[in-house]
Structure 1
Amino acid sequence: MTPTRTAWFGIGISSAVAEGPRTLRLASQADRDELDLFSVSDHPYVSDRLDAYSLVGMALGRTQSIAGLVNVTNLPVRPAPMLSRTVTSLAALSGGRIVLGMGAGGLLAESAKLGVPLLDPAAAVRALEEGITLIRALSGGGAPVTFDGEFFQVTRLEPAATPAPPVWTGSNGPRSLAVTGRSADGWIPGHAADWLSHRYRTSRPVIDEAAVAAGRDPRDVATIYNLPGRITATPLAVTRDDDNRWVGGSVGQWVEELTGAVLEHGASGFTYFPTGDTEPEVALAHWAQEIVPAVRAAVAADAA
């Protein structure tokens, strides 16, 4: 699936076992409200969490247009050859409604509880880049693939006919940011950092420099933000906290902030994570039915 939209708008939904039925209903609600994607986390070492790809598959089977994103896939516990089979299978079954979020593994010691090798951070980043390369090689048809890498090996394995989905990375350190610039289609800044954050200002240049060094246009690497916050009935006097982190506001304040993020800061998308006491169904309705259409309209008007 190739992104053709001006910006992606998504919703973060729970992977908690106890919330399973509600989570599936929220994915269907987001689909009816014409959001672009739903997002779930990947923590297979936690017993009260659903397997992320099982949840994505179930949700895609109940929806028509929305894409699924694991935000982000824990590569150490999902070897690249099998991950490639997983995402190309979901793409084939859903008509391409999948985005591949990938990370080197932020909790490597927790991942090792599942019996996978405990990699040091530098090795984990090398495995991430190798994994992206192999996943793409094992998709889109073509001749059998033999790959003898440091972390992954396959021998004369036929690629899936389905093309690989877009790859978005959750990169934080300079080595993984450089991988994003060389190899990825999108970047999800860590720790819910936004376009005004120190993390964005210091990290995005690393991505851009690596993209140029690899002969790529930095604009080909989208920035999609995980964006928590409250949607309030009336405007807030202050919409950012003491650390300049967005905390939310009224529908109008959200629309103004996100329109500026796209038009002035080049934001490529937002995955909204409701905070506060508002029921998820209500927060999703405000997001999908009021804020997102208004931002889309404002961006389209600017481009006209």
Structure 2
Amino acid sequence: MSAQEVVFGFGAHSGIDDAPALLRMVRQADREGLDHFSLSDHPYFGGRLDAYAALGFLLGRTERIAGLANVTNLPTRPAPMLARTVTSLSALSDGRVVLGMGAGGLWDRIADMGVPRLSPAEAVEAFEEAITLVKKLSGGGSPVTFEGRHYRVNGIEPAPVAAPPVWTGSVGPKSLAATGRVADGWIPGHAADWLSERYRTSRPVIDEAAAEAGRDPREIRTVFNLPGLITERPLAATRDEDGRWIGGSAGQWIEELTGAVLRHGAAGFTLFAPDGGTQDAASLGRWAAEIAPAVREAAVKAGV
């Protein structure tokens, strides 16, 4: 996908029994021109598909669409091996992978898998080290020696494949600052959108940290997880009493998302069902055929 185009995708929380339906939806999204699909990564739930096994399978059955874990459960996937996984997926799929990264949230369940528990501050340190190490172990070059607090490698050969874009699910200020220093994109937590207090207070933390690191803050793109209903007729109100987006007709979605791109710098959207689950096939079709092309066209006309 282009570094600057506005991207559109959909998200799925898929159990093992949902695998045939998931394959159908991802292949539909691929045919209809969506940019990415995302899968949740909760390896402590036995009924869920493993995110990275599913990504490899789905990328192998598609041609254009990119895939990501939204977001990778980093504590259960050590960074050096994660680097090998994502560069291999990139090589096999002609670059159709994004690395979604998180510091780890459900620590009780993570620890149940035998992973040492980290404090919030330690988890963020490990998260930033991991992103740095994945990038060092990508793109070829000399063997890598890395001495971090949480990760250490000695003379490891990088893969001759560029690192995929890294989008984080950062929430707290330390994690947000790490995103500004080392990541390529940000997925605001808790499905916060461009009008939310969470976005308004969080994005400046990323921008400040990026500038301090000598980066252009515009390099870190914001891609929103966006649950909502796509209706046949316009809704009287597209947001609830708390100001959260609830959806509307295709025209209402187009108006809202175009404003998000042109006025608030949104770089992409990942569609979920109103309950946070997977959208139905009909809504996914309208997302791909009606909403995404209209917003993309408006962005191009505006020079975004």
Question: TM-score when scaled to structure 2?
Answer: 0.97
Counterpart in the other structure of 2:111: 112
| Structure 2: distance between partners of 1:279 and 1:147 | 42
Counterpart in the other structure of 1:31: 30
1:193 aligns with 2:171: no
Q: Is the 8 A contact 1:81 1:135 kept in 2?
A: yes
- Give SS of 2:98's match: strand
- In the TM superposition, structure 1's runs of 4+ consecutive aligned residues that sit over 3 Å from their partners are 2-5, 276-279
Counterpart in the other structure of 1:286: 286
Q: How many pairs were matched up?
A: 303
Letter in 1 for 2:201: T
- Give SS of 1:209's match: helix
Deviation at 1:279, TM superposition (A): 6.5
| Structure 1: distance between partners of 2:98 and 2:62 | 15
- Give SS of 1:9's match: strand
Letter in 2 for 1:288: A
Change (3 A) 1:279 1:265: closer
Summarize deviations over 1:50-88 as a string: whole Å, max 9, x none: 100011111100000000010000110000000000000
1:103 aligns with 2:102: yes
1:137 aligns with 2:136: yes
| Structure 1: distance between partners of 2:199 and 2:21 | 33
Deviation at 1:5, TM superposition (A): 4.2
1:296 aligns with 2:292: no
| Structure 1: distance between partners of 2:46 and 2:278 | 27
Summarize deviations over 1:159-218 as a string: whole Å, max 9, x none: 100010000100000000000011110000000000000000000011011111111111
Deviation at 1:114, TM superposition (A): 1.2
- Give SS of 1:241's match: coil
Q: Is the 8 A contact 2:14 2:49 kept in 1?
A: yes
Counterpart in the other structure of 1:255: 254
The runs of 5 or more residues in structure 1 that have no matched partner are none
- Give SS of 1:254's match: helix
1:225 aligns with 2:230: no
| Structure 1: distance between partners of 2:4 and 2:230 | 24
Deviates more, 1:79-88 or 1:3-12: 3-12
Counterpart in the other structure of 2:12: 13
Question: TM-score when scaled to structure 1?
Answer: 0.97
The runs of 5 or more residues in structure 2 that have no matched partner are none
1:47 aligns with 2:46: yes
Q: Is the 8 A contact 1:87 1:100 kept in 2?
A: yes
Q: Is the 8 A contact 2:29 2:284 kept in 1?
A: yes
Deviation at 1:278, TM superposition (A): 10
1:90 aligns with 2:100: no
| Structure 1: distance between partners of 2:13 and 2:285 | 16
Letter in 1 for 2:303: A
Change (3 A) 1:268 1:278: closer
Change (3 A) 1:6 1:278: closer
Q: Is the 8 A contact 1:184 1:221 kept in 2?
A: yes
| Structure 1: distance between partners of 2:3 and 2:129 | 27
Counterpart in the other structure of 1:211: 210
| Structure 2: distance between partners of 1:191 and 1:68 | 20
Deviation at 1:149, TM superposition (A): 1.5
Summarize deviations over 1:27-58 as a string: whole Å, max 9, x none: 10000011000010000001110100011111
- State the superposition RMSD in angstroms: 1.4
| Structure 2: distance between partners of 1:115 and 1:261 | 42
| Structure 2: distance between partners of 1:265 and 1:63 | 32
Counterpart in the other structure of 1:64: 63
Counterpart in the other structure of 1:171: 170
Summarize deviations over 1:264-304 as a string: whole Å, max 9, x none: 11000000012379971111101111111111112122229
Deviation at 1:153, TM superposition (A): 1.4
